[in-house]
Amino acid sequence: SQTIHQWPATLVQPVGSPLSLECTVEGTSNPNLYWYRQAAGRGLQLLFYSVGIGQISSEVPQNLSASRPQDRQFILSSKKLLLSDSGFYLCAWSVNWGGEAFFGQGTRLTVV
C-alpha cells in the first residue's frame, strides 16, 4: 500500500533563517507531487507541483522553492523565511492530475 511521510511535524524558525521540508512517498512510482499551504483558518493554496523528477511548476510567486531530486521525494525550501511564511504545509501525491490527493500529516511552521 502507498504511504506518504512528511517531516518535521512542527517547526519554529526565526525570520531570515533557511527552511527545508521533506516529503517522501512509498509504494507507488512516478506520482504527481504537491505542496500546499494552509494559513490559519484559511483554505489550501497550491504552491508547487511536480509530474516527474526535476520538473517543478510554481503556482504563485513567493519566497519558497521546491525540488524533486528523486521520483518519490519532494522538498520545499526557502533561503530566508518571512513572518508571512507561517502556516500549515501539506505534501500530497496523486496518480494523475485531477485525481484523488493523498496527504501527508503536515508541518506546522511558525516563523518568529
Partner 1 sequence: ELKVEQNPLFLSMQEEKNYTIYCNYSTTSDRLYWYRQDPGKSLESLFVLLSNGAVKQEGRLMASLDTKARLSTLHITAAVHDLSATYFCAVDMRFGAGTRLTVKP
Between CA 104 and CA 13 the distance in angstroms is 21
**Of 104 and 111, CB closest to partner 1:** 104
CB atoms within 10 A of CB 71: 16
Interface map 28-67 toward partner 1 (x if CB under 8 A): ------x-x-----xxx-x--x------------------
Contact between 97 and partner 1 (CB under 8 A)?
Answer: yes
Between CA 91 and CA 46 the distance in angstroms is 10
Between CA 97 and CA 33 the distance in angstroms is 10
Contact between 105 and partner 1 (CB under 8 A)?
Answer: yes
Contact between 104 and partner 1 (CB under 8 A)?
Answer: yes
Q: 108 near 9, Cβ under 8 Å?
A: yes
**Of 57 and 84, CB closest to partner 1:** 57
Between CA 31 and CA 71 the distance in angstroms is 8
Contact between 7 and partner 1 (CB under 8 A)?
Answer: no
Total of residues contacting partner 1 (CB under 8 A): 19
Contacts to partner 1 by CB under 8 A = 34, 36, 42-44, 46, 49, 90, 94, 97-106
